[in-house]
Structure 1
Amino acid sequence: MHNLQDYFAHQPDSHRIAVLTISIFVFWNIENALALDMNYKKWRHALTNSYFMLVDAPVQFVLGVALAFATGWVAMHQFGLIYWLPLPNVFTQFVVSFVLLDLLEYVYHRFMHIFTPLWMVHLVHHSDRNLDSSTVLREHPLETGVRLTLLVLWVFVTGAGLWMVLARQFFQVISNVFTHSNFRLNDKLDRVLSLLIVTPNMHHVHHHYQQPYTDTNYGDVLSVWDRIFGTFSRLSADEVVFGVDTHMALEENADFKNLLAMPFGPHRESEDFSEEWVWQNA
């Protein structure tokens, strides 16, 4: 355990980038063999989504410094739940911090759907009509700012050290690429795995273009929170249509400049598209 703690405490940024790159590479190639739909320009779609890495980087750097300060402060002052609970060792502290941070990610995700200004920012991610492994990159810099600011707050709540946060992010990156990938698991396997972790089958429902499904399956790594708080739902693969019914036009949801401007546009009410229209324009 000490070796793992030491590794994540001093993990270089290049290792985290490598985990993301390898995860996308692996699931990208699985998609090529098992994809639900390949009727789109996959490389162009991935390029559009990858542009977000460039605009997100300055936000990640600034809030990364804030995160390092917060994790150092809570460790120095032994502040937060993992210090206040009677936990016998570092391993149990890590497990509890992992579970608590995952619960708080669920809370953050629900915030992004409940409050209109936050939804307008999160809408950029949901507007992707061709969900695949590159969609995990599609995060508006304003959302990156909200997410990482709340993560700093979560550190003060939980007391999680920097190595605990980075170790969790290792699993989080792999999980997020996996759940956004353009394939589905065997239904029997999915029913077992989704008792504990979020699966593509489960997360695809969250990316269905219409409510109430859009407002279900908020889980990040663990699926238990959706079951506990009554936000779990299922939908068969042939019923899922990716996107958001307020922004179905490709000139809006497939153009990077328009995506950057999307949070500043007017809030729209859901539109009633016929099933024929949806499939013809998918």
Structure 2
Amino acid sequence: MSELRDFFSKHEDVTQLILYAGVIASLWFAETMVSLNGVKNKWKHTAVNAMFIFTALPIQLFLTGFIVVISIWANAHHWGLIYFIPYHTNPWVYYISLFFLLDFCEYAYHVTMHKIDPLWKFHLVHHSDLKVDVSTTVREHPGETCVRTCCLMLWTFLLGPAIGVLILRQTFQTIANISAHTEFRLSPRANKILGWLFITPNLHHVHHHYQLPYTDCNYGDVLSVWDRLFGTFCELDREETVFGIDTHMDENVNGRFVNIIRVPFQKLVRKGIH
């Protein structure tokens, strides 16, 4: 047991992959048990999204090495915004402050991906899924994987989090992102309570609605407080939510991996105003 514990402590990337795969697999089987679309359609949809694992994972693993190097350098040189925060030597202040700062950075990243056209062309691949379920979590163009991981390098350099903080943050982020894309939704009461602080599946489904202004709301990664602070918080009933993006609603394109990969390199048609 001690050998196993030592292995995982030295191979954080493997630990995160196992956690990621375990949570996705568990929720996917749970969705399949209650799916109204049939197992065949579920498999077909999942197969397309799963292809993105093979394009994104090598990039993710390669660039994560640079994040680790930056974190080690920043801590060795006491570099980063965290060192300007009062009482940062207190573990509670250190971890909570960095968790909130990193979550805000992810909020800013998400907004940027929507507002800058060249970046939106990559991010809309994620939004083009016409049926949001747990497999949508991995539907990320490799171009966006590169941008997202490079941004995390920047956040790590600017903030100076230790490896332990990054692992804790990634664990929460993994569970939150996967849960947000699941077909399951919370009850109105539970969503109202948890939604004051966290991005729930109900709130993230609104973000995947195919038309503005809903596409440009609920940008939060783990926490919903940033959307409330910056006026991007919104709610929409399940019956009114239609998944996809209004400029790319062709199922023949969205349902084929090769066609989806090509989307960012085609002429951009900006989201319409509705």
- TM above 0.5, yes or no, is yes
- 1:216 is matched with 217
Alpha carbons 2:206, 2:215 under 8 Å: kept: yes
- What is the CA–CA distance in structure 2 between the aligned matches of 1:54 and 1:32, rounded to whole Å? 23
Q: Secondary structure at the match of 1:79?
A: coil
- 2:151 is matched with 150
TM-fit CA distance, 1:61 = 2.6
- What is the CA–CA distance in structure 2 between the aligned matches of 1:113 and 1:90, rounded to whole Å? 35
Alpha carbons 1:8, 1:167 under 8 Å: kept: no
Alpha carbons 2:12, 2:167 under 8 Å: kept: no
TM-fit CA distance, 1:157 = 1.4
- 1:280 is matched with none
- What is the CA–CA distance in structure 1 between the aligned matches of 2:53 and 2:219, rounded to whole Å? 23
Alpha carbons 1:9, 1:163 under 8 Å: kept: no
The alignment covers a number of residue pairs equal to: 267
Alpha carbons 1:132, 1:182 under 8 Å: kept: yes
**1:198-237 equivalent positions in 2, closer than 5 A:** 198-237=199-238
Letter in 2 for 1:160: P
TM-score (norm 1): 0.89
CA shift in 2, pair 1:7/1:195, >3 Å: farther
Alpha carbons 1:127, 1:248 under 8 Å: kept: yes
TM-fit CA distance, 1:272 = 9.4
Alpha carbons 1:210, 1:245 under 8 Å: kept: yes
TM-fit CA distance, 1:269 = 4.1
- What is the CA–CA distance in structure 2 between the aligned matches of 1:227 and 1:91, rounded to whole Å? 25
Alpha carbons 2:122, 2:144 under 8 Å: kept: yes
Letter in 2 for 1:147: R
TM-fit CA distance, 1:103 = 0.3
Q: Secondary structure at the match of 1:30?
A: helix
TM-fit CA distance, 1:33 = 5.0
- 1:89 is matched with 90
**1:10-89 equivalent positions in 2, closer than 5 A:** 10-33=10-33, 38=37, 41-86=41-86, 87-89=88-90
**Alignment deviations for residues 135-154 of structure 1 (CA, whole Å, 9 cap, x no partner):** 10011111011101010000
- What is the CA–CA distance in structure 1 between the aligned matches of 2:27 and 2:128, rounded to whole Å? 21
CA shift in 2, pair 1:246/1:239, >3 Å: same
Alpha carbons 1:70, 1:156 under 8 Å: kept: yes
**Alignment deviations for residues 37-71 of structure 1 (CA, whole Å, 9 cap, x no partner):** 53681111111111111111221133112111110
- What is the CA–CA distance in structure 2 between the aligned matches of 1:81 and 1:7, rounded to whole Å? 32
RMSD: 2.0
**1:177-192 equivalent positions in 2, closer than 5 A:** 177-192=178-193
Gaps of 5+ in 2: 1-5
Greater RCO (CA < 8 Å, at least 6 residues apart): 1
- What is the CA–CA distance in structure 2 between the aligned matches of 1:198 and 1:9, rounded to whole Å? 29
- What is the CA–CA distance in structure 1 between the aligned matches of 2:128 and 2:117, rounded to whole Å? 15
- What is the CA–CA distance in structure 1 between the aligned matches of 2:114 and 2:51, rounded to whole Å? 24
**1:218-257 equivalent positions in 2, closer than 5 A:** 218-257=219-258
**Alignment deviations for residues 117-136 of structure 1 (CA, whole Å, 9 cap, x no partner):** 00000010000001000110
Q: Tell me the percent identity.
A: 43
**1:138-177 equivalent positions in 2, closer than 5 A:** 138-177=139-178
Q: Secondary structure at the match of 1:41?
A: helix
